[in-house]
Amino acid sequence: MQSCCRREWWKDAVLYQIYPRSFKDSDGDGIGDINGIIEKLDYFTFLGIQGLWLSPMYKSPMKDFGYDISNLTDIDPLFGNLEDFKNLLEAAHKRDLKIIMDFVPNHTSDQHPWFQKSLKREDPYTDYYVWRDGDKDKIPNNWLSVFGRTSWTWYDERKQWNYHAFIPEQPDLNYENPRVLEDMKKALAFWMDLGVDGFRYDAVVNLIEDQRFLDEPLSGDPNAKPIEHEYLRHIYTEDLPKIFTTLKEFSEVIKDFETKTGRDNLIVSEAYVTPKVSMEYYELSDIDMPYNFGLTYLNKTCDVSCYSEKIKEWMDVMSRNRWPNWVVSNHDRARISTRVGEQYIDAIHSLMLLLPGTPQFYYGDEIGMENINVTFEETQDPWGKNLGPVRYVLYSRDPNRSPMQWDASHMAGFTTANISWLPVHPDYKTRNVEVQKIRKFSHLNIFRALVWLRKYPSFRDKNLFYGPITDNIYSFGRYMPGNRGFYIILNLGHQPDTYPYDQHPKKMQDHASNVILFTGSLQDTYKVGQEIDLKDLRLNPGDGLVLTGKYNNLFPN
């Protein structure tokens, strides 16, 4: 919420996504749960995190691992119960930790009572979902599910087709019916009354369907198979204008609550769209931070241009009332370590924590966790299962959802069971929180140092100064007039490279630069506080350096 005199908590926060199934199991069934999270809350104090986003823990048949909700105001027994959830809120709030809930407006589970009643044409639920007349042997149109295959399922009970943007067990809600909106608002109110601190709007691009139900055109994507979502251009099922006004109604409920209680709730939204379209979510739907997913596209072939273009593109659209954010991975994308290579992890954390705005991390990225390998037989994710034994590797999200690696003990300290819902990564004996606590320059300790660094006033605002770049080196400065400034130099490329001193900002040239933090191979070269001559600075891929000096008032213009 924008208010004249108060700074919202989330502007200074570092956010962390917990995928509850995989975080910490307290009852020995091999699946993480609420009491497991409570056990680990001190970890967030240790890391310096202020907000947790929890992927869904609502009652669910778990066909999409919680994103298929059968009761919007209850907790699934797998995770605990409402009392446990209240305890979590209380324990978190004691530590100044905020809790953000997932909110899934697009669909429910087919086991939700609304759907069960809709199936029987019981009013007022008859039109709560998207139903189409037709012939059992002829699907209404060519629309494809995001997870592959047709997005229509025939129900004999109604002798009608049902639309689902995701799997058949996730029927889409029908926002043509105003009652749906009202009922969904009630779910938001329920959790706000309980004391949650915000919501993540899930899968918002799919919220509205064009009511003419016309075939979608082919995308022409040569890599897409006919059953895959990318095969079509989604002009009738995604990004429709009514999404913005619908979401705004939800945001209004939340903002009203804020006005009443004086508490700032954070609203984030999940849409893989261009920065330009993201702006519409800020402007038209009153969302505090539409996720900036630009950096989720990073991969091993990226040189500096991938990074610099994505950063600039995003920062360029950040006008005065918009607050930036950074995400590199989540439960739907491959682990960042696996995507770009572990050696870049500290440099990427430096970007996320030292660029202007709020970063959100995916559990385990702070220790550089890697994807696991999952065979087709082991695959549980419907997205992987749908696409068959050859293509599943491209889509399954199981590899990036493996249990958190706490220590070198049995099952990485995740569970006392001998088997967990997804296997623990085999590297857990050497990669885990406990070992990295002890190692001075571990990913974990560099992460913590960066979190600590960003408390300096120069990192609080949107001030950003782009330094020179080469094919390998990216540099930027952060400043706040009258305060200590910082200059960050990272090698994000694939070759060793020398800092382009000939392009070094003139104004900064006479000033001593002291090393304050470094990563990668530079750990052997420099000491904290050491003065450094930028003329000779050479960085290997993944190396990074944070300098501070007499940069007072140097950065602007």
Residues carrying an active site annotation: 202, 270
Q: State the nearest-atom distance from the C-beta of 165 to ligand GLC, in Å.
A: 8
**Of residues 275-334, which lie at the interface with ligand GLC (CB under 6 A)?**
331-332
Among 25, 238, 286, 366, which residue sits at the site for Mg ion (rule: CB under 5 A)? Answer: 25
- CB distance 139 to 90 below 8 Å: no
Instruction: Determine phi and psi for 290, rounding to 5 degrees.
Output: -65, 130
Chosen from Mg ion, ligand GLC, none, partner binding at 202 (C-beta under 5 to 8 Å by type): ligand GLC
CA 273 to chain centre: 14
CA dihedral 543, 546, 551, 553 (to 10 degrees): 100
- Tell which residue, 147, 239, 258, has the closest CA to residue 198: 258
**Considering the complex, what minimum distance in angstroms separates the CB of residue 200 from ligand GLC?**
9
Least distance from C-beta 31 to Mg ion, angstroms?
5
Give the shortest CB-219-to-Mg ion separation in angstroms: 41
Name the DSSP class of 138.
S
Nearer to ligand GLC, 98 or 200 (CB): 200
SS3 (DSSP) at 203: coil
| Those residues with Cβ within 8 angstroms of residue 281's Cβ, 6 or more apart along the chain or in another chain | 204, 244, 247, 269, 271, 287, 290
152 binds, among ligand GLC, Mg ion, none (CB under 5 to 8 A by kind): none
Q: Which does 8 bind (CB under 5 to 8 A by kind): Mg ion, ligand GLC, none?
A: none
What x-and-dash track marks residues 28-67 binding ligand GLC by CB under 6 A?
A: ------------------------------------x--x
- Among residues 15, 89, 100, 104, which is the contact residue for ligand GLC, using CB under 6 A? 104
Burial of 423 (0-12, 13-18, 19+ CB in 10 A): middle
Q: Which residues contact 200 (CB under 8 A, 6 or more apart)?
A: 53, 100, 101, 102, 103, 268, 269, 270
Site for ligand GLC in 150-169 (CB under 6 A): 166
Closest CA to 199 of 55, 96, 66: 55
CB of 515 to ligand GLC, least distance (A): 40
Query: Which range, of 20-28, 201-209, 384-392, 467-475, touches Mg ion by CB under 5 A?
Result: 20-28
**CA 308, CA 464: separation in Å to the nearest integer?**
13
Give the x/- contact pattern for Mg ion in 33-52, rule: CB under 5 A.
x-------------------
Q: Which of 8, 9, 11, 27 binds Mg ion (CB under 5 A)?
A: 27
Residues at the contact surface with Mg ion, assessed by CB under 5 A: 25, 27, 29, 31, 33
Residues at the contact surface with ligand GLC, assessed by CB under 6 A: 64, 67, 104, 166, 202-203, 270, 331-332
